[in-house]
Amino acid sequence: MSQSDYVIIGAGSAGCALAYRLTEAGRSVTLIEFGGSDIGPFIQMPGALSYPMNMSRYDWGFSSQPEPHLGGRRLVTPRGKVLGGSSSINGMVFVRGNRKDFEYWKESGATGWGYDDVLPYFKRMETWHGGVSEWRGDSGPLHITRGKRKNPLFNAFIEAGAQAGWPRTDDYNGEHQEGFGPMEATIWKGRRWSAANAYLRPARKNGRLQVIRAFARRILLEGNRAYGVEIERKGRIEKITAGREVIVSASSINTPKLLMLSGFGPADHLREHGITPLADRPGVGANLQDHLEIYMQYKALKPVSLYTYYNLLGKSRVGIEWLLQKTGLGASNQFESCGFIRSGEDIDYPDIQYHFLPLAVRYDGKAAAKGHGFQAHVGPMRSKSRGTIRLASGDPAEAPEIRFNYMSHPDDWKEFRACVRLTRQIFDQKAFEEYRGDEIQPGADVQSDEQIDAFIREHAESAFHPCGTAKIGRPDDPMAVVDPELRVIGAENLRVADSSVFPRITNGNLNGPSIMVGEKAADHILKG
């Protein structure tokens, strides 16, 4: 096997973008991915989004340790085990994040990652189909579209937000995030436009990319210099070497695991598992963050929701139309309107996000209401709770221990109560008068702080946005894992490029900023 200039671990959102840009610049790349093909209707059909994240073929199958502040529940933590990574199993919602998210990154030590620094990469990566805007890109690999909002409930949600006193926003990924408006998605011509479709397939055509299906066990080092990756393929242990650098893009769960297995992490923890520390970096696996959300559900007084299609015959009709024409309900993720609001006047930028759905159903496709209904997914954006990723053992085959420590900060409870009460204000507006039936959950009798807290404890779910476990920071910051050029502190020829590097979680869904990290990483590497 010929040696490549670069070896990337993980064909996910950032890894695919990085492979594309490096090969575009004439470099040779070996991309290691444990998962298999993303071809098939369960992934490519947007309306089938609840299936791939619940299929062991496409998902790593992670779950958290019992969460002490959520009644000891274990929360599922889907991560893509497939070409395209989590961009092949996610909800396809596209959110850049707020300007102030990236200003915080810069101020916290991620020099060169302020909003003005990252905006060119957001523009470079996208082809936006919403018109012409100085804030948006028009020639990138990632197609960004909007649903048609034919269902009257979508526009009722936007109108209700305005009636409740919040602004409208024509483009929350443009100049103004705050407000209610149309939601954007990585969907193009009726198909999921994952990182595999946008970046990986074009990159494979230039002859400089080699994709290997294998399990990455650890990073190979001479002293502290990375020179390759130890993999397991078809039951055999092999070595894949890099002429220049190794880049870890294996997700905020598997990236810190790989770093720790390779000797980078909290020294005492590594020794407990028989691993010799090469660099004592307590930030590896620390700073774990996520978005939690609840589903505020209502019965519908009119038969306008997707419940009409929520049966075997209806799903079959939707599926056949999509297979034949790539049109109809199957061509949408059904998240077509949204909102970003502040929970109070003392908050300087939005801290609550809404996904509106014209059906009362769980994210995993289960527990549909018996009849027509609708719901808003709602949750705080900047939880102060922090968790950890830790090794369960020194065996690379064993899943890491995931402790989100959800709801461990008292402010989280205050913010979630505000979510419940503000959502009720929205659905109480005139725009929903003809559609709004009884509140299914939490239920009209859930009113006091204690009652709301009990509902959250039992029903809050992850929005599947884990990040932060190998954060960017100053080299003298003991909790930083990578420097502002994404080089692993204490190592040579080793970088990280995925959502692990986020110093703090961004406002909204993470696929967009994860791809941006891959885009920006390529420039750091090529300049180096």
CA–CA separation, 431 and 168 (whole Å):
14
Strand 337-341 to 352-357 pairing? antiparallel
Active-site residue 459, yes or no?
no
CA–CA separation, 331 and 425 (whole Å):
31
CA–CA separation, 367 and 19 (whole Å):
40
Place of tokens 């505000």: 418
Query: Residue 14 belongs to what H/E stretch?
Result: helix 13-24
Q: Is 275 helix (H, G, I), strand (E, B) or coil?
A: coil
Return the number of other C-beta atoms located less than 10 Å from residue 120's C-beta. Answer: 14
DSSP assigned state of 199: I
Q: Is 44 helix (H, G, I), strand (E, B) or coil?
A: helix
Return the number of other C-beta atoms located less than 10 Å from residue 66's C-beta. Answer: 12
Candidates 291, 355, 372, 465; catalytic one: 465
DSSP assigned state of 64: P
Which residue positions form the known binding site for FAD?
Answer: 82, 90-93
Which residue positions form the known binding site?
Answer: 82, 90-93
26: exposed, middle or buried (C-beta count within 10 Å: 0-12, 13-18, 19+)?
A: exposed
CA–CA separation, 52 and 43 (whole Å):
6
Q: In sequence order, what E strands does 381-465 have? A: 388-390, 401-403, 436-441, 461-462
CA–CA separation, 36 and 297 (whole Å):
36
The set of catalytic residues is 465
